[in-house]
């Protein structure tokens, strides 16, 4: 039995973090950790020394030494004094400043702390960023509630299961939604920060003085000057507001206000034609609002045209009004009503949701003074290693020119931290899957036909309608399609576009197939479980050589 003194644990969760890390060391059979006593007892196979145990505890940001006072070379007890640079033996402990606290920021802060850096995380608003607070989590909860409401109102099985129009108590749904948001924010952000002593949280607004120094206007008052060795900018993005005359003087919603509304408007107009606009438009429609969508072109006009067409058909079947090639030229709000002047006439609504994209949060930070270049959108230009144009300043997430997905942000944050500590990690987005949580869902990965042609690739494509997928037939729901894009000649899979129920559960299999450079024939030869939606990938691959309508069930 080996005992360690562990300093820096501040809560019960810390003990679990230390325990899990110790039990991952080769030769360790079990570990028990006491937060009040500051002790860890490790049962080993007899061939484990003190140094690897101290190393894994130190990597978490705690201080460790043998219970008898002996210390290994990884002991960093002198490295957390709060100075801008600290000493750990003969080496300096790198000071990393992280601006933001969302997915990219948290991933980077934890990875940097794991690597032995001292981290200062600066947040001007609520901990957790967009995803957990006003993005992914609350929207998917609302969308799920709306889906349940729709199934109670109408389903393919109404002939045998009586349907009932549900009573929507939006304030109760909101309380449930926000309760889960608070729970996840505490568990995945606040609690972890509290239990990681290598990370110090500063509440305030950061501004660059130069390429190595920040000025932080503290929320509690006053200013702090913070020197750093490396800095990560992970400030996210905010809803973009189009310059429509009259709009700014009205009480319109962005997604932020829509998600925390405790009521559903009788008539909702939505300006926008992409992810956020369409997810929330359908959710409100299913929660009893009469919804009209104003699309400047068509739905998802930047994607394969079949995607927008399929979703438009599905929305119209639900009674959602989709106004294509429609723009608002003026917005007026009077007597509790929005009046939108458009190129196709006048539209009236009780509430207006504006969801036309998001703008990087890069204003007011003096990025120019720090030597950080921005693109035309105001996003920070970075390379594949998340390095900005300024030495020692990195960026990740929605404030950059990367795709605005939280899993991309987190992956970028981790790699930025590795590189800040001297590594050479890159982020390959060639097989990045994307999912839209409408019903049916939209999921894509790899090249569309148009994108492949722009890349100089000749393609051979097939589209499978869902009336050829046994699971869809069993569900009595054949809305949508699965399309495979292959390289002409070789048959190598280049991309997949799917509009189906559960498309988000299908697309990762496609991503792995593309990453493995599989051909459509190799995909067709794989074993897929019968009566699953993902079997549609196999069937779509079989269409390159067979007429799947002539195949029996499970035909390989």
Task: Compute the mean pLDDT over every residue in the chain, rounded to the nearest whole number.
Answer: 93
Q: What are the residues whose beta carbons fall under 8 Å from the beta carbon of 154, sequence distance 6 or more?
A: 163
Tens digits of residue pLDDT in 321-373:
999 999 999 999 999 999 999 999 999 999 999 999 999 999 999 999 999 99
User: At residue 37, does pLDDT exceed 90?
Assistant: no
pTM: predicted TM-score of the whole model, two decimal places: 0.86
In angstroms and rounded to an integer, the radius of gyration of the C-alpha atoms of the chain is: 27
| % residues pLDDT > 90 (the chain) | 84
Residue 80 pLDDT: 31
Q: How confident is the model at residue 63 (pLDDT cuts 50, 70, 90)?
A: confident
| % residues pLDDT > 70 (the chain) | 95
Residues catalogued as catalytic: 9, 11, 14, 62, 131, 136, 553-554
Q: How confident is the model at residue 82 (pLDDT cuts 50, 70, 90)?
A: very low
Residue 86 pLDDT: 37
**Cα dihedral sign for 554, 505, 179, 119?**
positive
What does the DSSP 8-state code read for residue 421?
A: T
Bigger pLDDT: 99 vs 1: 99
CA nearest to 51, candidates 29, 30, 31, 73: 73
Cβ-contact 349, 187 below 8 angstroms: no
Phi then psi for residue 313, to 5 deg, are -65, -45
Per the listing, tokens 């609002």 go with 289
Q: How confident is the model at residue 61 (pLDDT cuts 50, 70, 90)?
A: confident
Domains and CATH numbers, the chain: 2-77 (3.30.70.100), 92-240+357-429 (3.50.50.60), 267-349 (3.50.50.60), 434-550 (3.30.390.30)
**What's the rounded Cα separation, in Å, for the pair 411 and 494?**
23
Task: Return the half-sphere exposure (C-beta side, CA atoms, 13 A cut-off) of residue 283.
Answer: 27
Least confident of 78-87, 91-100, 277-286: 78-87
Q: How confident is the model at residue 57 (pLDDT cuts 50, 70, 90)?
A: confident
Burial of 345 (0-12, 13-18, 19+ CB in 10 A): exposed
Residue 70 pLDDT: 60
Tens digits of residue pLDDT in 195-225:
999 999 999 999 999 999 999 999 999 999 9
User: At residue 50, does pLDDT exceed 80?
Assistant: yes
Q: How confident is the model at residue 92 (pLDDT cuts 50, 70, 90)?
A: low
Residue 361 pLDDT: 98
Using DSSP's 3-state secondary structure scheme, residue 281 falls into: helix
Residue 13 pLDDT: 73
């Amino acid at each position: 039995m080996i005992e360690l003194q562990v300093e820096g644990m501040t809560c019960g969760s810390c003990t679990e973090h230390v325990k899990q890390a110790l039990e991952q060391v080769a030769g360790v059979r079990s570990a028990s950790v006491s937060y009040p006593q500051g002790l860890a007892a490790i049962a080993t196979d007899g061939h484990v020394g003190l140094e690897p145990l101290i190393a894994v505890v130190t990597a978490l940001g705690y201080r460790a030494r043998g219970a008898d006072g002996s210390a290994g070379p990884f002991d960093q007890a002198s490295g957390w004094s709060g100075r801008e640079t600290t000493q750990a033996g003969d080496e300096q402990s790198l000071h990393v400043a992280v601006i933001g606290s969302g997915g990219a920021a948290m991933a980077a802060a934890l990875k940097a702390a794991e690597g032995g850096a001292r981290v200062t995380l600066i947040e001007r608003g609520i901990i957790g960023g967009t995803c957990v607070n006003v993005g992914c989590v609350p929207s998917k909860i609302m969308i799920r509630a709306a889906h349940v409401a729709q199934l109670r109102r109408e389903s393919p099985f109404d002939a045998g299961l009586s349907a009932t129009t549900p009573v929507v108590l939006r304030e109760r749904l909101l309380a449930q939604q926000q309760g889960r948001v608070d729970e996840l924010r505490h568990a995945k952000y606040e609690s972890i920060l509290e239990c990681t002593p290598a990370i110090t949280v500063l509440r305030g607004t950061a501004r660059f003085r130069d390429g190595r120094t920040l000025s932080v206007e503290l929320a509690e008052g006053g200013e702090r000057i913070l020197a750093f060795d490396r800095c990560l900018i992970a400030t996210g993005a905010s809803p973009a507001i189009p310059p429509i005359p009259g709009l700014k003087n009205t009480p319109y919603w962005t997604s932020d206000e829509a998600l925390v509304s405790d009521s559903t408007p009788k008539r909702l107009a939505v300006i926008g034609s992409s992810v956020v606009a369409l997810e929330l438009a359908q959710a409100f429609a299913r929660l009893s609002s009469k919804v009209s969508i104003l699309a400047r072109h068509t739905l998802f006009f930047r994607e394969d045209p079949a995607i927008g067409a399929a979703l438009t058909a599905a929305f119209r079947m639900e009674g959602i009004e989709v106004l294509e090639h429609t723009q608002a030229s003026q917005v007026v709000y009077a007597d509790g009503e929005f009046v939108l002047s458009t190129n196709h006439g006048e539209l009236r609504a009780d509430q207006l949701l504006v969801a036309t994209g998001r703008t990087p949060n890069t204003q007011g930070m003096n990025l120019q003074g720090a030597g950080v270049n921005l693109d035309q959108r105001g996003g920070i230009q970075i390379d594949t290693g998340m390095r900005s144009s300024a030495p020692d300043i990195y960026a990740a997430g929605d404030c950059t020119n990367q795709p605005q997905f939280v899993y991309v942000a987190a992956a970028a944050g981790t790699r930025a931290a590795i590189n800040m500590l001297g590594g050479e990690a890159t982020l390959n987005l060639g097989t990045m899957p994307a999912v839209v949580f409408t019903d049916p869902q939209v999921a894509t990965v790899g090249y569309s036909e148009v994108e492949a042609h722009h890349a100089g690739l000749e393609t051979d494509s097939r589209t499978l309608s869902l009336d050829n997928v046994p699971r869809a037939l069993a569900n009595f729901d054949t809305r949508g399609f699965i399309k495979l894009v292959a390289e002409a000649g070789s048959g190598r899979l280049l991309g997949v576009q799917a509009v189906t129920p559960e498309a988000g559960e299908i697309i990762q299999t496609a991503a792995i197939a593309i990453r493995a450079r599989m051909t459509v024939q190799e995909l067709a030869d794989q074993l897929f479980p019968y009566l699953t939606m993902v079997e549609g990938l196999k069937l779509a691959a079989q269409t390159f050589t067979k007429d799947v309508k002539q195949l029996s069930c499970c035909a390989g």
